Structure 1
Amino acid sequence: MILEPLQPGNGPIRSQHYLPATGRNVLWGRLPCAADEAVLDIESGDDVTIDTLSHEGILEDQGRDPRRFFGGHGVDGHYVLDDAIAIAASDYPRDRAVDGPHVVTGPIRVRGAKPGDLLKMTLVEALPRVPYGVISNRHTKGALPGEYPQGLETVSAYAEVDEDADGTRVGTLPLVHGGPKLVRFPLAPFLGIMGVAVSGDTRPHSVPPGPHGGNIDINLLTAGNSLYLPVQVAGALAYVGDPHFAQGDGEVALTAMEASLRVTVRFEVVPQADALQQFGRLIGPLAETRDFLVPTGMSLDLDEAVQHCVRAAISLLGARYGMDSHLAYAYLSAATDFNISQVVDIVKGVHARIRVSDFDGVPRHAG
């Protein structure tokens, strides 16, 4: 193994706030709502180092025993995370028939955040906690539900982290089960779940994403990039989870390379007036990288998700640059890629990649 495990409390912790994925700091299968108590209070602009746990290896169809599950793939017990063992062995009140699989760390109250504002969540750092991951196809829920898995059992492909000659870390999978030949692919760690609490006293299921964010699975949200979310409750009550080492757009087999991360996230409140000037009125998540503005669209129907994303992109260009809607529509057709975020989380996701360099020299629209 090329990486030492980052057990709770051990190893590098970048920020003054540290939130382990233990005890009351986690929800399993549900996302926070307004009725939940924050496990940490911070100021806008603060960084928080957070341990996240992959659900792969702890679920019932994998034996709910990560020592045994990963041991079956040759992983020494030293490399199995203590917090994964603890939650799998706990009596956490999760009903697999009605709750999701994801372990979520939080919620975090950001002082001063209120409905109408945006919460900006920036991934500052993402450190692998283990040198392996799992890619599963289960419960006939992938992009080809009538074809895979081919039997009744969950198929969980074990993937290892390796290093190329230049020291670059890559993921590996065998070409044939148990075979020696490997396919190697780039790693790009990110969080599949970044979100804010919903109003009311009902915790949402952890699988379908929505205006609150949640399980959006946008693989552009690697270190250095940000997600903006409309605040729904006082304090925002933010959370993270569903860590990935790698994912292709679409995530067609149901999961990607799921593996636990220690992340540092910066939380910043964007007041309503500033939010309106920068982005217009957002009704759902918006990502931002150095190169792209990334509006999103979501729906049970993929065609509708694309339509929602196109409308969001047109609205964004109008609010930010004063661009006429018919010209924004034309520009998007000529110059913008629309990518499938995922097709496996009940609510399907699409995101657009609008190049900010195309608007160099264009003044921001004053509204």
Structure 2
Amino acid sequence: MTSMNTITYRPARDELAYTFGGRMPVAHLRSGDVLQVYTEDCFGGRVRGPGDLPSQVCQLPYLNPVSGPFYIEGAEPGDTLAVHITSIEPARQWGVSATFPHFGALTSTSHTATLQPPLPERVWVYGIDRKASTVRFQATETDHQIDLPLAPMIGTIGVAPAAGEARATIVPDAHGGNLDTPLLQAGTTVYLGVNVHGALLALGDGHARQGDGEACGVGVEIATNTTLTVEVVKHVPTPWPRLETDTTIASAGCARPLEDAYRIAHTDLVAWASELTGMDTLDTYQLISQAARAPIGNVCDPNYTILAAVDTNALPRCAPAYGGVHTRLRRHGIHPGGEGQ
């Protein structure tokens, strides 16, 4: 890994991106570089209170913006881009969530059409106490409230798709995108298969927290100050997004219906675990069947996302993934404080 440089990037509003692919890079990074980047929330900062209904203050397709893309020197098709998330700090003292007509897991949609009226549109504002590390839920129709643990995550991260495609940032697929998994937190390394020269990494859609599945389709949406480190793993392909923490490896599958996403994730995890342990495929399949977990990322986006995750201590003689890049990037990480806004 080359020597570490730090690049800081804060996009102006007209510099936010709404697709993966189809855009020129905003900056160049090299393996080992640290990126400190400001990301906007999924509403572009336009929803700030209960009266700011997204249907009135936002406009399609200008939802779910990402910062970038960033050109990674030396990244070529067939390589893997490793992205270690060092820190995710809320950039404001509040976050927002909402319900939308015809959007979310528990309402009719354009693809699941029913005759009952759509759910009302409503906005919830969550106070964020960074010192106490809490997120405060306040009911809108009663005085019920509760403090939930602050658990910042990045909802959307990915690279340019293959074959010259430009994909809307709300879509999760093999290139990454709107994965919406709480495992995309500080301390996690994300592995993305490179499809174009320079990879063209972009990220955004921070959440102060989110339940598995993101049932209403909206987490506690926040702007963030995020710090990450990148490294190019040469000549090693990665077919679907993979994640690694100090204790766990996970594969992401994105598709509809949800069982196809489940199959993608588990097929990839079986192949990955077999490679790391040297076990026979069927032996690995059997072990994963008994030891793995399947946390759901989202069941609301154009594709659904689910993970297949297993603790590495459950894998016999497990070699370091990607030659130990997670450990290297973690050691090189820094932990800056977020800036209030």
Q: TM-score, normalised by structure 1?
A: 0.77
* 1:168 and 2:135 correspond: no
Q: Which residue among 38, 53, 58 is the counterpart of 1:51?
A: 38
The residue type paired with residue 17 of structure 1 is I
Q: Which residue among 274, 289, 298 is the counterpart of 1:318?
A: 274
Cα separation, partners in 2 of 1:177 and 1:71, compared to 1, 3 Å: closer
Using the TM superposition, give the Cα deviation of residue 205 of structure 1 relative to its aligned residue in structure 2, in angstroms: 1.3
Q: CA RMSD in A?
A: 2.7
* 1:255 and 2:218 correspond: yes
* 1:354 and 2:341 correspond: no
Partner of 2:154: 191
Q: Which residue among 202, 206, 230 is the counterpart of 1:243?
A: 206
Using the TM superposition, give the Cα deviation of residue 57 of structure 1 relative to its aligned residue in structure 2, in angstroms: 6.7
Using the TM superposition, give the Cα deviation of residue 135 of structure 1 relative to its aligned residue in structure 2, in angstroms: 1.4
The residue type paired with residue 208 of structure 2 is F
Unaligned runs of 5+ in 1: 1-14, 59-64, 74-87, 276-280
Q: Which residue among 20, 27, 31 is the counterpart of 1:31?
A: 20
Partner of 2:186: 223
Show the 5 A alignment for 1:1-367: 16-22=6-12, 25-27=15-17, 29-33=18-22, 36-56=23-43, 58=45, 65-66=46-47, 69-70=48-49, 96=60, 99=61, 101-146=63-108, 153-162=120-129, 167-174=131-138, 176-272=139-235, 275=236, 281-359=237-315, 361-362=317-318
Cα separation, partners in 2 of 1:259 and 1:227, compared to 1, 3 Å: same
Cα distance in 2 between the residues matched to 1:243 and 1:160 = 15
Partner of 1:79: none
Partner of 2:334: none
Using the TM superposition, give the Cα deviation of residue 352 of structure 1 relative to its aligned residue in structure 2, in angstroms: 1.5
Using the TM superposition, give the Cα deviation of residue 114 of structure 1 relative to its aligned residue in structure 2, in angstroms: 0.3
Using the TM superposition, give the Cα deviation of residue 180 of structure 1 relative to its aligned residue in structure 2, in angstroms: 3.3
2:67 match: secondary structure: strand
Cα distance in 1 between the residues matched to 2:16 and 2:315 = 42
Deviations 1:15-38 (A, max 9, x none): 7311102155321x32233xx211
8 Å CA contact retained: 1:16, 1:48: yes
The residue type paired with residue 115 of structure 1 is P
Deviations 1:311-367 (A, max 9, x none): 11111122221221221121112111111111111201110221111236445799x
Partner of 1:6: none
Using the TM superposition, give the Cα deviation of residue 291 of structure 1 relative to its aligned residue in structure 2, in angstroms: 0.8
8 Å CA contact retained: 1:57, 1:70: no
8 Å CA contact retained: 1:25, 1:107: no
Q: TM-score, normalised by structure 2?
A: 0.83
The residue type paired with residue 314 of structure 1 is V
Unaligned runs of 5+ in 2: 323-341
The residue type paired with residue 18 of structure 1 is T
8 Å CA contact retained: 1:100, 1:206: no
Cα distance in 1 between the residues matched to 2:120 and 2:141 = 18
Cα separation, partners in 2 of 1:198 and 1:152, compared to 1, 3 Å: same
Partner of 1:9: none
8 Å CA contact retained: 1:100, 1:207: no
Cα separation, partners in 2 of 1:313 and 1:57, compared to 1, 3 Å: closer
Cα distance in 2 between the residues matched to 1:334 and 1:341 = 21
1:309 match: secondary structure: helix
Deviations 1:250-308 (A, max 9, x none): 00001111111010111110111xx3xxxxx5311001111100111111100111111
Cα distance in 1 between the residues matched to 2:177 and 2:122 = 25
Deviations 1:222-264 (A, max 9, x none): 1111100000000111111111110111000011111110101
Cα separation, partners in 2 of 1:317 and 1:307, compared to 1, 3 Å: same
Using the TM superposition, give the Cα deviation of residue 72 of structure 1 relative to its aligned residue in structure 2, in angstroms: 5.2
Cα separation, partners in 2 of 1:183 and 1:198, compared to 1, 3 Å: same
